[in-house]
Amino acid sequence: MPIRLLPDELVDQIAAGEVIERPASVVKELVENALDAGATRIEIEIEHGGVALVRVRDNGQGIAAGELTLALARHATSKIASLGDLEAVTSLGFRGEALPSIASVSRLRIVSRPAGAAQGAEVDGGTAEAVRPAAHPPGTTVEVRDLFFNVPARRKFVRSDATELGHVTRLIERLALSRFDVGFRLTSGSRVLLDVAACDDASDELSRLARLLGSDFPAQVLPVSAGAGSVMLSGWMGLPTRSRAQPDRQFWFVNGRSVRDRLLMNAARLAYRDVLYHGRHPLYVLYLTLDPKLVDVNAHPAKLEVRFRDSRQVHDFVFRALERILAEARPQPEAAVTTVGAPGDDVAPAALPLREPSRDSWLVAEALASVAPAASQRAADAEDQPLGSALGQLHGVYILAQSRAGLVLVDMHAGHERVLYERLKAERAAGSVASQLLLEPLVISLKAHEIAALLEERSQWEQAGFELGALSDTQLVVRRVPAHLKVAEVPGIVGSLVRDLADDVGTHHLEKAADRFLGALACRTAIHANRRLTLPEMNALLRQMEATERASQCNHGRPTWTRLTLQQLDQLFLRGR
Ligand code: ADP
Ligand code: MG
């Protein structure tokens, strides 16, 4: 489309664009223009944090000499011409405001040559009428010097060169994550800060991610790929055990545009709620693509937030897709774990493969009965047993196991807790909670306020398989309990549960009250430290974990197991050097 002035009615429909407030705003507008022009290689040069110079060169389609003057006019754009175009816009820009805004606060020069043109042409922002011939390869260079030279008020808000350069660098990193098919090079003076070639395949993409987000990024994430109708979600999501203290590695892209959208961030947060340690943040790089007509990008001056036509549907799709991937995570190749220098560096669990749970063997006690001694000596096929076969118990807390890859350590309480929690949730969802009627009702003494609190939450208790009532202010009668509870332990467990729920102990990250209840129940009924387990019991637990969703983290988001590969052990003992 040629560059044209937008009709007044359309100008009125367009949200006013962001003011140019710092060098990074200039870089953003110029690089987005280059991307809109179909460039596959973009070079950004910065001097003095961008205040002295921002120069962006691209190999895109260029601007015809006859349109250079118009490119600098307000509300002139080649990207939309009608309201219909605006509603289905796929370009990053569409307001026709960036170049005139930048030209009004700097010394701007454009040199450009369309692919078919015999020669290039240049124009100065100050004298937009005077277009001269100039040498240039096909593509465009926009040069912005002395930013804010004529607006001291804005100049005052510009920070040190290093700070401004930091903003520019993070911006270019985000843009480089948004378009793997484009090469980017960022230099400041003579320093090359980033130089990434256009990616040809998935392995190039992983190298770019490693370059931008850290060399261990590929080992920390699960690939994401999901679709529902015309809505597609792809990218990478961090393993729960690789969470971060800050939400500083969360990237969302909608139709190629980097956004900080609350709805999407919330959907991702919810997906992790069952597996993340309290106060930790997941990392992810996620791309949502959908029919441009279903999303309004004209809702925010910086286009950072978007408005979905059907926001509920988008939210649920994203939430469900991410939650499923976390639940069904497959094992990382062992090789990903073995590239580590020192043990302890990188021994967080990869995801476990899911296998069919053997019927009714989810409890260690139950499982024990179903595991014949001969079977437990398991000419075990170590390959499909990532948690290996148990060798013994360590300090009453950990199970030590040998797997094909090396050594596995399992936190037996944490692992069992997750097994129970997932089982309880599944039973609840199926409406078939296994419970046992007590031969003799149990009478438990509690404080009056504890009984009152319990009765307020009575439906939770009943949904989990309890049947109980008050005998007096301080006496509770229990007639039925969940099937996996040992009768002798019921009074202790009921008392602890009442207090856990009052204090929200360790369950606060589970958002739904019902999940909190089941989480607390699982925690209180899972095998505790110093409980002696036999080898068949240990193996039964390992097999249960392998068959359980999300088994790599306990309900509190802590890892349940870790491994040291043979290679890591060899490194530890300097073998083979
Ligand atoms: P917008 O991007 O909203 O259209 P701009 O002020 O950023 O508005 O740019 C005005 C017009 O100049 C664009 O619509 C486009 O036609 C042209 N233009 C700007 N930069 C480039 C570039 N790097 N390559 C090709 N055309 C460009
Ligand atoms: Mg633009």
CB of 476 closer than 8 Å to CB of 443: yes
Max CA pair span of the chain: 99
157, 166, 196, 251, 294 from 171: Cα distances, Å: 19, 9, 14, 12, 26
Judge contact between 559 and 418, C-beta under 8 A. no
What's the DSSP call for residue 543?
H
Q: What is the reported pLDDT for 383?
A: 54
In angstroms, the CA 204 to CA 285 distance is 16
Query: Of all atoms in ligand 1, which is nearest to the CA of residue 142?
Result: 23
Give me 325's structure tokens.
């991937």
Q: What is the mean pLDDT of residues 447-452?
A: 92
Query: What are the tens digits of pLDDT across the range 458-491?
Result: 988 998 999 999 999 999 999 999 998 988 999 9
Find out whether 233 and 288 touch, Cβ atoms under 8 Å.
yes
Distances (CA, A) of 262 to 17, 39, 286, 298, 315: 20, 30, 14, 16, 10
Confidence check: pLDDT of 370 > 60: no
Q: What confidence tens digit (pLDDT) does each residue in 412-429 have?
A: 999 999 999 999 999 988
Which ligand 1 atom minimizes the distance to the CA of 100?
A: 6
> Can you tell me the distance from the alpha carbon of 52 to that of 193, in angstroms, rounded to the nearest whole number?
18
For 53-92, write each residue's pLDDT tens digit: 999 999 999 999 999 999 999 999 999 999 999 999 999 9
Neighbours of ion ligand 2 (CB under 5 A): 33, 93, 98
d(CA 564, CA 64): 62
Q: What is the pLDDT of residues 272-307, one digit of tens each?
A: 988 887 778 999 999 999 999 999 998 888 888 899
Give the pLDDT score at 362.
Answer: 39
- Which residue, judged by its Cα, is nearest atom 25 of ligand 1? 62
The share of the chain scoring above pLDDT 90, in percent, equals: 67
Better-scored residue on pLDDT, 113 or 359? 113
In the prediction, which pLDDT does 367 show? 40
Q: How far is the CA of 33 from the centre of ligand 1 (A)?
A: 5
Copy the structure tokens of residue 447: 């404080």
Structure confidence at residue 511 (pLDDT) = 58
Mean pLDDT of 540-545: 94
Query: Sorting pLDDT into bands at 50, 70 and 90, what band is 50?
Result: very high
Top-confidence residue, 544 or 300 = 544
**Other beta carbons within 10 Å of 210:** 14
- Ligand 1 interacting residues, C-beta cut-off 6 A: 3, 29, 33-34, 37, 58, 60-63, 71, 77-79, 93-99, 140
Per-residue pLDDT, 329: 77
Beta bridge partner(s), residue 379: none
pLDDT in tens, 163-187: 999 999 999 999 999 999 999 999 9
CA of 223 to the centre of ligand 2 (A): 32
What is the per-residue pLDDT for 456? 87
User: Rounded to whole angstroms, how far apart are CA atoms 168 and 462?
Assistant: 57
Average pLDDT (543-551) is: 90
- 145-154, 269-278, 389-398: least confident range: 269-278
- The rounded Å distance from CA 98 to ligand 2 centre is 5
Q: How far apart are CA 85 and CA 417, in angstroms?
A: 54
Q: Cα 179 to chain center, whole Å?
A: 18
368 compared with 49, residue with greater pLDDT: 49
Task: Grade residue 373 by pLDDT with cuts at 50, 70 and 90.
Answer: very low
> Rounded CA gap, 492 and 488, in Å?
8
In 3-state terms, what secondary structure has residue 184?
strand
Question: How far is the centre of ligand 1, averaged over its atoms, from the C-alpha of 7 (Å)?
Answer: 17
Structure tokens at 391: 């060798």
Q: String of b and e for 229-245 (b: at least 16 CB within 10 Å)? A: eebebbbbbbbbbbbee
What is the residue with the minimal CA distance to atom 16 of ligand 1?
78
Q: Which two tokens stand for residue 111?
A: 């040199």
Q: Which residue has the tokens 């009984």?
A: 451
What are the chain's domains? 8-196 (3.30.565.10), 202-327 (3.30.230.10), 350-577 (3.30.1540.20)
Per residue in 200-235, pLDDT (tens digit) is 999 999 999 999 999 989 888 999 999 998 899 999
Q: What percent of the chain has pLDDT over 70?
A: 89
Give the start-end residues of each E strand in 26-75: 41-47, 53-58
What pLDDT score does 538 carry?
A: 95
Please name which ligand lies nearest the alpha carbon of 34: 1
Q: 7-46: per-residue pLDDT in tens?
A: 999 998 888 777 899 999 999 999 999 999 999 999 999 9
Query: Is the separation of the CB atoms in 405 and 566 below 8 Å?
Result: yes
| CB 351, CB 222: distance < 8 Å | yes
Average of pLDDT values for 322-334? Answer: 73
Select the more confidently predicted residue: 277 or 520. 520
Q: Which range has the worst mean pLDDT, 98-112, 365-379, 499-513, 516-530? A: 365-379
Residue whose C-alpha is closest to residue 81's, from 89, 70, 73: 89
What are the Cα distances from residue 546, in Å, to 132, 353, 381, 396, 542? 71, 6, 14, 21, 6
- Rounded average pLDDT over 430-454: 92
| 242 phi and psi angles, rounded to 5 deg | -110, 35
CA distances from 496 to 274, 422, 523, 545 (A): 22, 21, 10, 25
d(CA 53, CA 70): 23
Does position 120 have pLDDT exceeding 60, yes or no? yes
Q: Which two tokens stand for residue 399?
A: 């199970």
Strands in 310-351 per DSSP E: none
Cβ distance 207 to 281 under 8 Å? no
Q: Is the pLDDT of residue 375 over 60?
A: no
- Under DSSP, the state recorded for 442 is E
DSSP β-bridge partners for residue 250: 284
Whether the Cβ atoms of residue 271 and residue 509 lie closer than 8 Å to each other = no
How high is the mean pLDDT of the chain?
87
CA distances from 458 to 453, 455, 470, 512, 528 (A): 9, 5, 11, 16, 26
Q: How far is the CA of 308 from the centre of ligand 1 (A)?
A: 26
